[in-house]
Structure 1
């Protein structure tokens, strides 16, 4: 399916739409409740929920703009603070605690994309929440995900390592396949451990 760029773009769009469905749906429900609610306290609570859903939607859009999009306006290098803010916004529900160990003020655009998509995958692997440590130095991007339950299923693992059948990839594997493509095109390699005892190490080694 992803042998053509248009097909792969469709996978990325499907993943984005899937992740936006929940906060946008909550916005719609909140507006409907607010329209019928007359109790002042309940109206205030509805407004709070609307604000939370709007913030979640905006944060996810900002993340995917950098992770999937062209990131227009940033040039060839992107401020690493933008990446950190994007990850914090994506995991802003408090379930995932971010440890940031990136000292470089900026990184090449493709390195940022790899870092963000790995953060997406590692964060999703923390099924019950936990800690996500992010490091980048000397051409290496490394993420450490630790929590009560860490799961990275076979489709995502195979997509990351380039061992998946591209014609059978689902939208949920789009981020993993994007990492594989970016790392391969850069002449690097994906590094991946087997989740064990609530720990997953995932990263990429790129030519300096």
Structure 2
């Protein structure tokens, strides 16, 4: 394992821990309240909050397992319906984001699924005030074509995320926030594919971020 791969792995782990801290912390607080609470109605509310936190944590772990991990082996095919479920659950985390899903294939290759999930994560991050996340993937004879469009009243797109997608940033300059973009680039590069992005600055009706990838099959 090279120093670069160790550094990227560490950053991905930091991102995962950061995103899991909120639901896990909420569960810990709920348990503390439950221990000292004697009122039956309040105890019931605490239990409901714990159940919500457990569901959120489980969903995020499933999302990150597919987006960052090696679930099922790198050559396996993943059900598109499961990926859709995870993307919609991630988008619903405290934000008014609607997801438009246009993936015709019943299954996606592991590289295509990873790129789509990480693009979805970047798109969700770019919509702090909510908006629309449109996801499309088409399976052609020799390639997958993936497109993710994040559109809203405000687009928050870190230029370093774009630089990571373009390969214009050194590995040592990455952060936990920009690491998923670098992972996308490395996956596409390993497959012999390519990635691109385009940003429409915020205007009177908002802005948009478009992320695209073409990944050879096989």
The answer to whether TM tops 0.5 is yes
CA distance in structure 2 between the aligned counterparts of 1:31 and 1:74, rounded to whole angstroms: 38
Q: Is the 8 A contact 2:4 2:171 kept in 1?
A: no
Aligned residue in 1 for 2:48: 48
Q: For structure 2, list consecutive stretches of 5 or more residues without a partner in the other structure.
A: none
Distance 1:47 1:195, change over 3 A: farther
Q: Is the 8 A contact 1:63 1:89 kept in 2?
A: no
CA distance in structure 2 between the aligned counterparts of 1:130 and 1:37, rounded to whole angstroms: 39
Q: For structure 1, list consecutive stretches of 5 or more residues without a partner in the other structure.
A: none
More strand by share: 2
Could you list the per-position Cα deviations for residues 115-142 of structure 1 after superposition, in whole angstroms to 9, with x for gaps in the alignment? 0000000011111111111100132100
Q: Is the 8 A contact 1:20 1:57 kept in 2?
A: yes
CA distance in structure 2 between the aligned counterparts of 1:75 and 1:163, rounded to whole angstroms: 29
Tell whether 2:122 aligns with 1:121.
yes
CA distance in structure 1 between the aligned counterparts of 2:40 and 2:200, rounded to whole angstroms: 49
Question: The residue matched to 1:194 in structure 2 has which SS?
Answer: strand
Q: Is the 8 A contact 2:124 2:150 kept in 1?
A: yes
Question: The residue matched to 1:171 in structure 2 has which SS?
Answer: coil
Q: CA deviation at 1:198?
A: 2.1
Question: The residue matched to 1:151 in structure 2 has which SS?
Answer: coil
Q: CA deviation at 1:181?
A: 0.5
Q: CA deviation at 1:143?
A: 0.6
Give me the TM-score of the superposition, normalised by structure 1.
0.93
1:105-184 equivalences under 5 Å are 105-137=106-138, 138=140, 139-184=144-189
Aligned residue in 2 for 1:191: 196
Tell whether 2:205 aligns with 1:203.
no
Higher mean displacement: 162-171 or 2-11:
2-11
Aligned residue in 2 for 1:58: 58
Q: Where do 4+ consecutive residues of structure 1 move more than 6 Å?
A: none
Give me the TM-score of the superposition, normalised by structure 2.
0.89
Compute the RMSD of aligned alpha carbons. Answer: 1.6
CA distance in structure 1 between the aligned counterparts of 2:182 and 2:158, rounded to whole angstroms: 14
